[in-house]
């Protein structure tokens, strides 16, 4: 049994290549930022720990532990913020790449219109989307094959694999 060819496979492949290229550039910067953040947090935690040690064995140890925990939590919050920033930047770049690819004719708009009609039927009303791509509607159903929607779907397909973008290589 032959699996039907999805007309959007080339678009998805191109989106994934563009996402990977953008991710690599953003990742290098994010890794450097994350390393700096972690070094700073660790240095701060060590300074706090050293200061607390001077306060005394009993009270100092408890205070040092609280400060260490706070420093670790702060470092984690900074890392999460950096990850969110990297993901937002990646999403923006992928969207730009898809818009550019559609504008340059990487995937003809007629091909997207045909794909939308294949999903909704020939009676579907197909409309050009701002930024590239198309949307199509029939009563009660809508398909969004706009550049932004295609880019977002490509990133969503990364799912948990997106975490590898800011992990060690």
- Per-residue pLDDT 10s for the chain (169 aa) are 555 667 777 777 777 777 777 777 777 777 787 788 778 878 887 888 777 777 666 776 777 889 889 988 998 998 888 888 888 888 898 899 999 999 998 888 999 999 999 999 999 999 999 999 999 999 999 999 999 999 999 888 887 777 676 666 6
- C-beta of residue 92 within 8 angstroms of C-beta of residue 98: no
Q: Which helix (H) or strand (E) holds 143?
A: strand 141-146
Q: How many whole angstroms separate alpha carbon 22 and alpha carbon 154? A: 13
pTM: 0.58
Q: How many whole angstroms separate alpha carbon 42 and alpha carbon 75? A: 8
Write out the two tokens for 116: 């939308």
Q: Which residues pair with 136 in a beta bridge?
A: 126, 143
Q: In the chain, what are the domain boundaries?
A: 9-158
Q: 9-55 and 147-158 helices cross at what angle (nearest 10)?
A: 60
Q: For 4, phi and psi rounded to 5 degrees? A: -65, 145
């Amino acid at each position: 049994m032959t699996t039907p060819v999805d007309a959007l496979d080339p678009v998805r492949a191109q989106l994934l290549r563009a996402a990977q290229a953008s991710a690599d550039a953003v990742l290098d910067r994010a890794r450097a930022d994350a390393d700096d953040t972690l070094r700073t947090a660790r240095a701060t935690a060590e300074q706090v720990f050293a200061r607390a040690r001077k306060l005394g064995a009993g009270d100092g140890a408890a205070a040092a532990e609280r400060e260490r925990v706070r420093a670790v939590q702060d470092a984690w919050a900074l890392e999460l913020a950096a990850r969110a920033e990297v993901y937002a930047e990646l999403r923006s770049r992928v969207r730009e790449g898809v818009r550019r690819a559609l504008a340059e004719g990487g995937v003809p708009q007629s091909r997207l219109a045909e794909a939308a009609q294949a999903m909704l039927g020939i009676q579907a009303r197909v409309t050009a989307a701002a930024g590239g791509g198309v949307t199509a509607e029939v009563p009660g159903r809508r398909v969004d094959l706009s550049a932004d929607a295609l880019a977002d779907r490509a990133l969503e397909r990364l799912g948990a694999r997106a975490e590898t973008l800011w992990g060690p290589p």
